[in-house]
Each structure stands twice: as structure tokens, then as C-alpha cells.
Amino acid sequence: MLGHDKVSFLHLPTPLEYLPGISQDLGVEFYIKRDDLTNLGVGGNKLRKLEYLLKDAQDQGATMLLTLGGAQTNHGRLTAAVAAKYGMKCAIVCVDDYPGELSANLLLDRLMGAEVVLKKDDGRPESVQFAETAAAVKARYEAQGEKVYEIPIGGSNDIGILGYFECAQELTAQAKEMGISDAAVYAAVGSIGTYMGLFCGLRESRSPLGLVGVAISPFLDAKEKRIVEYFNSVKQTFGLTCDAVREDFRIEKDYTRGAYNNPCKEVRDAVRYMARREAVILDPCYTGKAFAGILDMVREGKIQKGSKIIFLHTGGLPGIYTRHHRVEFEKELIDGVTILD
Ligand SMILES: Cc1ncc(COP(=O)(O)O)c(C=O)c1O
């Protein structure tokens, strides 16, 4: 893609499925793109990015992948998966507290052999703490003879957009085949790489599909600045012919529920609704929050009846097992557990 090769470890294309129950309830045509079904380490969007990042790492002779994130980073888990599969070492550096138990992504990271380094937040800018801690971990492994390839948070650098640039083409072809080329793709937005890949892929190929990003954490000035700079950097790196200004990026910012990965009832309701209606499991941090936003947009009339929606399921399943979400789900669901003496 765009002159870059990848290590092809995914079974693509992922399915694009029609969800009849949700479509009927909402009065829209609701489709779901199952990137949660990507095939390593429980799946998720980061694997498409990692196909390209791994190739770059191999080309540089790396023996180890090092990445950054929160203690429950899905991207870290999938970096660990790729490292395990390709016989590389892996370290995940987090500026975070130990969540009190080895569960969810953290458990899977360790199962797949990654070292997780948790640096307690000391109040200085997070970027400084990440840089210092990552440099120390890198130096430690280099002293053991490893060649370390660093991947930024969420895999969201220029190379990291290639996977979703490719996915945009995949989606355009699938939508055409299914007669839904006038649909809009809805995707959760975190570190912006997934959105940027889709945006550039759709725009560069003049795809008829629309694109809406749903921010899952407050989209503040730094992200406003980042999204434009990111596009310009990608355009320059890959010689894209398309142009864009801030107004071209449609990011819905009103559905973040105030913070990143916070437990909230509307999101749990949306996760439960999707599970009971379509047997598709969303996660409480990204996809559940984005889906709760879509439900609000339908209620508010921002998404009109009869619209065609393609919801990108970006994975994140292990998040449901993190303690702070699990205890809230338990309070709401325990009534359906019958205990017989
Ligand atoms: C499950 C899931 N969905 C969506 C996203 C958002 O993707 P991006 O960081 O590329 O914006 C992430 C990122 O961590 C994720 O883990």
C-alpha cells in the first residue's frame, strides 16, 4: 500500500454484516465491519496497523517491539501478540498504576510473553514520563543485545495509517458489492490513526462512502491540532494527491461521556443491547461508547431514519473484564443468576 509492503498475517477481508434487529429498532440500515474478528491475540483494529509496522521493524533488523499505552492498552496486547507470533521480544511501557489484579489485557500481555512496565504517574507531563521510561527500558534490552523497534501510542504514526488506508479500499469494494455505497462509516477515535487511515484511503480513492469519527475521550485543543498535522504529515510522507482542512474531518465530540475509559451506564446499556439483540460483544472503552453515541445521534435525529451506517467494530473485548467495568456490569446483571442450594 502506497509503496510499502506488509507482513500479511490477517485473513482479510473481514466480514461486513447486516444487523437486522438493530436496523429494525433504529429505522436505519445498520451494518457492522467485523475487525474484531481479526485473528491474532483476540483481535482488534491495531493488527491492521501492525502488519505494516512489523514489516518496517523487520526491515530495520529489529528483534524486539516496544510500545506505550495505559495499563489496559489494546494496542499493547496486540503488539505482544505479533511479537509472540514472529519470535520477537516485547515490552509495553505504561504511565499507570497497577490496577490491583492481573486481568483483561494485562493478563493477556503476560500470557503472550510481553514485559509490562508500569510507571506511577508523578504529575509531570505524560509525554516526558513515557519518553524517560521507554528510553530506560530500551537501554536495558539493548545492553542484552536486542535491537528495539519503538511503536508510538496506538500505533498512530505515518506507517500506522496504512492498514486502515487499505481497509478503506476493502470497505469501498464490499459496500459496492452489497449495494450500500451511500453509507457512512462510523469509527471510535482514540489516537486517531484508524480514522486517519480511513479518511485518507476513502478520500484518495474518491470513495462514495462517508466517514464519521466518534471521539471516546475529550477532543481538546491538542487533538484538534494533531489531526491537521497528522494529515499533512501523512500527505507528505506518502505523496497523497488529496487535500484536507480541519472542517473536512468529521469528528463527533459530544459523546465522550467526560473521560477516557470511565464506567458509565449509557455505555453499559448500549453494550448489553448489542449483546442481546445481535450477539455481538462491544467493549466499554471504545466500541461501546461509540455505539452509545450512535444511539444518541439516532434519537436526536442527527442520524436520519433510513440512513445506511457501517459501524467499524475495532475490537477491545478484553476491556469488559477490567475490574472497574466488571463490577458495574455485575451489579446490573447478577439478578439473572439463580443460585440453587
Ligand atoms: C478497541 C479500540 N477501538 C478503537 C480504538 C481507536 O483507534 P485509534 O487509536 O487508531 O484512534 C482503539 C485504540 O486503542 C481500540 O483499542
> Which pLDDT tens digit goes with each residue over 235-267?
999 999 999 999 999 999 999 999 999 999 999
- Exposed, middle or buried: residue 105 (CB in 10 Å: 0-12, 13-18, 19+)? buried
Answer yes or no: is 290 within a domain.
yes
Q: Which residues contact 104 (CB under 8 A, 6 or more apart)?
A: 72, 318, 319, 320, 321, 322
Mention every residue, 6+ apart, whose C-beta is less than 8 A from residue 202: 168, 172, 185, 209, 211
Give 316 Cα–ligand 1 centroid separation in angstroms. Answer: 8
State whether the beta carbon of 318 lies less than 6 angstroms from ligand 1: no
Phi/psi at 5 (5° precision)? -85, 170
Share of the chain above pLDDT 70, in %: 100
> Which value, in Å, is the radius of gyration of the alpha carbons in the chain?
20
Centroid of ligand 1 to alpha carbon of 66 (angstroms):
18
Residue 284 CB–ligand 1 contact under 6 Å: no
How far from 288 is each of 23, 113, 206, 272, CA to CA, in Å?
A: 17, 28, 30, 9
| Residue spans of the chain under pLDDT 50 | none
Shared domain for 23 and 65, answered yes or no, is: no
Same domain, 38 and 140: no
**Atom nearest to 315 CA in ligand 1:** 1
Q: What is the pLDDT of residue 170?
A: 98
Report whether 118 contacts 90 (CB < 8 A).
no
Give domain status of residue 242, yes or no. yes
Among residues 69, 39, 86, which one has the least CA distance to residue 315? Answer: 39
Indicate the residue among 155, 184, 217 that finishes a domain: 155
- CA-based nearest residue to 290, from 76, 35, 24, 15: 35
Alpha carbon distance 86, 235 (integer Å):
31
For residues 205 and 79, membership in a common domain is answered with no
Give, as one character, the DSSP assignment of residue 44.
B
Pocket probe mutation, ligand 1, options 185, 230, 314, max atoms within 8 Å of Cβ? 314
Pair 240, 190 in one domain? yes
DSSP secondary structure of 197-223: HHHHHHHHTT-S-EEEEEESS---HHH
How far is ligand 1, taken at its centre, from the CA of residue 336, in Å?
32
The pLDDT, as a whole number, for residue 284 is 98
Does some domain include residue 9? no
Among candidate residues 155, 174, 189, the one where a domain is terminated: 155
| 325 and 219, same domain (yes or no) | yes
Shared domain for 182 and 287, answered yes or no, is yes
CA 198–ligand 1 middle distance (angstroms): 13
Residues 212 and 325 in one domain: yes
Determine whether the shortest distance from the Cβ of 70 to ligand 1 is under 6 A: no
Q: Looking at residue 315, what is its pLDDT?
A: 98
- Give the pLDDT score at 32: 99
Q: Closest Cα partner for 175 from 166, 165, 185?
A: 185
In a domain, 4, yes or no: no
Residue 144: how many other CB atoms lie within 10 Å: 9
Nearest CA owner, ligand 1 atom 5: 190
Ligand 1 contacts CB of residue 186 (under 6 A): no
Looking at residue 110, what is its pLDDT?
Answer: 98
Which range of residues forms the domain containing residue 227?
Answer: 16-44+157-336
What is the crossing angle of helices 221-238 and 193-204, to 10°?
50
**Is residue 139 domain-resident?**
yes
Could you tell me if residue 323 is inside a domain?
yes
Q: Based on the structure, what is the number of domains in the chain? A: 2
Whether residues 107 and 165 fall in one domain: no
Report the first-to-last Cα separation within the chain, whole angstroms.
60
Q: Whose CA is nearest to atom 16 of ligand 1?
A: 74
From the alpha carbon of 44, which atom of ligand 1 is closest?
Answer: 1
Q: Is 217 in the pocket of ligand 1 (CB under 6 A)?
A: no
Cell numbers standing for residue 122: 508523578
- In tens, the pLDDT along 81-139 reads 999 999 999 999 999 999 999 999 999 999 999 999 999 999 999 999 999 999 999 99
**Of the candidates 100, 128, 155, which is a domain's last residue?**
155
User: Is there a single domain that holds both residue 288 and residue 260?
Assistant: yes
21 by Cβ neighbours in 10 Å (0-12 / 13-18 / 19+) ranks as: middle
My answer on whether 51 and 128 are in the same domain is yes
The answer to the question of residue 2 being in a domain is no
Any ligand 1 atom below 6 A from CB of 219 = no
Instruction: Count CB atoms within 10 A of the CB of residue 10.
Output: 19
139 with 176, same domain?
no
Choice from 14, 198, 249, 286 to test ligand 1 binding pocket (greatest atom count within 8 A of CB): 286
Residue 160 alpha carbon, nearest atom of ligand 1: 10
Do 141 and 210 belong to one domain? no
Read off the CATH number of the domain in which 53 is found.
3.40.50.1100
Q: Is the shortest distance between the CB of 43 and ligand 1 below 6 Å?
A: no
pLDDT (0 to 100) of residue 215: 98
Is residue 203, in this structure, part of any structural domain at all?
Answer: yes
